[in-house]
Structure 1
């Protein structure tokens, strides 16, 4: 049975205060079910993302983490359920969302320059036939500088390392100027320097009042990187602040025998650095 930790204001589910919280949530999912063939990948999942926080979606391989994110974006059609973004239907709020897909899902052989990839993030401003100006190029270059890739602007994207490619796709997301950032395993297969650079950018987004949701695989860094956590194994297992929802009981429920008891206890008791304003991880 899913565990949803009580919110700080103590508002009971279904109350007026709870409904208002749902309407204010950057991403609210209710009763979401997605199937591949006849097999459910995500079943009757509810999720409420807290504004201005960094939330990790975690669970074992095949648990539905990436599917949940793609269904929230409308990339994968759900069998049932609804998605609201900032209290409104998804289609009316797409301009407020930036998405960074898994690196493995991208065709890196496509011949295009790094700066052109980043300028794709400006498509809503430019339109299909919009003229690219020096201002647009400067904006894209500034986003590359933020992720430490400014010197690679004229390189072909396929010539970069995996970590460098991931940084470029994050720069493209930054160019969108979104309010909600959804990232699918951005740290998978990258070097330590890239991981450090990415998490620094994500923390700055949070400091700027943005909301960040990350499909994450490294349980050892959950307490260090994130404020909130959402555990899933086809069904929702638990949701809430890391200090409350990321514990031995919820980890065992999500991962079962895939994690040794000693490993669960070690992860659940790992120290966290608290965010000075939100109480979340630094």
Structure 2
């Protein structure tokens, strides 16, 4: 797990093959930065020695083929899965010191939707870290939860059981829970997977509003055809970092080919990005 920086100390990545360790530059203002991040499930690394920096006031996409480590990178950045090596920094601080500045929307498929709870209960869960699990929410906090439901178009469903909703409605509710936390950094794992077109449009509108409010958004994304419309920064991964940067310069044919290899039909590359390399 990431270690807090101490005054005058610069973290290093361990030496490999007898070479001297190299210093790690930690951007002080970046909402999210990882350095030398390696995560392994068994003997095979899911993410290997990844450096990434996600800029402030931006919409960033993490893209790559299935099994490339996209969701693993996101979860490792949250500190919910153990790291084999590396460090995670949130606004220049070790993750342990800055978790309260992060809101997370998990993959819809990973949630137990049969759990008996209402829509309002789910959204209010995003507020309990302020008062503790045994604390009591104030009237102001409850009003905030209602406002967040209204923001995603779900205010009329506040007392509905979460399991009775459609997939798109469930995703809106989880976004409302994240909004209730009033975070500075929003991490979303495939927020548009399995939702209808109207919900996708509603979600992207909310995310773009967050960006306009000075927040940072980082999302695992699988639909390459919408990257240019939705995002302004992109991180391409296939276990290792392939490329990152502004969409205009990093989302290129060369980088897509390096990331997806033969899994991406060459006939569609020109439609997705301009010709270019890393």
TM-score by length of 1: 0.87
* Structure 2 residue corresponding to 1:154, chosen from 139, 150, 159: 159
Give secondary structure in 2 for the equivalent of 1:62: coil
Q: Deviations over 1:206-238 (max 9, x none)?
A: 000000000000000000000100000000000
Shift, 1:260, TM fit: 1.8
Shift, 1:19, TM fit: 4.7
Inter-partner Cα distance in structure 1 for 2:114 and 2:192: 21
Shift, 1:132, TM fit: 2.4
TM-score by length of 2: 0.89
User: Which runs of 4 or more aligned residues in structure 1 lie more than 3 Å from their structure 2 counterparts after TM superposition?
Assistant: none
Is 1:86 matched up with 2:91?
Answer: yes
Give secondary structure in 1 for the equivalent of 2:103: strand
Structural RMSD (CA):
1.3
* Correspondence 1:90-129 to 2 at 5 A: 90-129=95-134
* Correspondence 1:131-142 to 2 at 5 A: 131-142=136-147
Equivalent in the alignment of 1:237: 242
* Structure 2 residue corresponding to 1:181, chosen from 164, 186, 189: 186
Inter-partner Cα distance in structure 1 for 2:116 and 2:166: 15
Inter-partner Cα distance in structure 2 for 1:136 and 1:73: 25
Inter-partner Cα distance in structure 1 for 2:95 and 2:141: 27
Inter-partner Cα distance in structure 2 for 1:19 and 1:217: 30
Give secondary structure in 1 for the equivalent of 2:51: strand
Structure 2: 5+ residue stretches without partners: 1-23
Equivalent in the alignment of 1:77: 82
* Structure 1 residue corresponding to 2:173, chosen from 168, 174, 177: 168
Inter-partner Cα distance in structure 2 for 1:44 and 1:123: 35
Give secondary structure in 2 for the equivalent of 1:46: strand
Inter-partner Cα distance in structure 2 for 1:227 and 1:174: 21
Shift, 1:199, TM fit: 0.1
Q: How many residues align?
A: 252
Do 2:128 and 2:137's aligned partners in 1 also have CA atoms closer than 8 Å? Answer: no
* Correspondence 1:1-282 to 2 at 5 A: 19=25, 22-269=27-274
Deviates further, 75-84 or 212-221 = 75-84
Inter-partner Cα distance in structure 1 for 2:145 and 2:155: 9
Inter-partner Cα distance in structure 2 for 1:78 and 1:129: 31
Give secondary structure in 2 for the equivalent of 1:24: coil
Shift, 1:254, TM fit: 0.2
Give secondary structure in 2 for the equivalent of 1:188: coil
Give secondary structure in 1 for the equivalent of 2:46: strand
Deviates further, 53-62 or 116-125 = 116-125
Structure 1: 5+ residue stretches without partners: 1-17, 271-282
Shift, 1:265, TM fit: 1.5
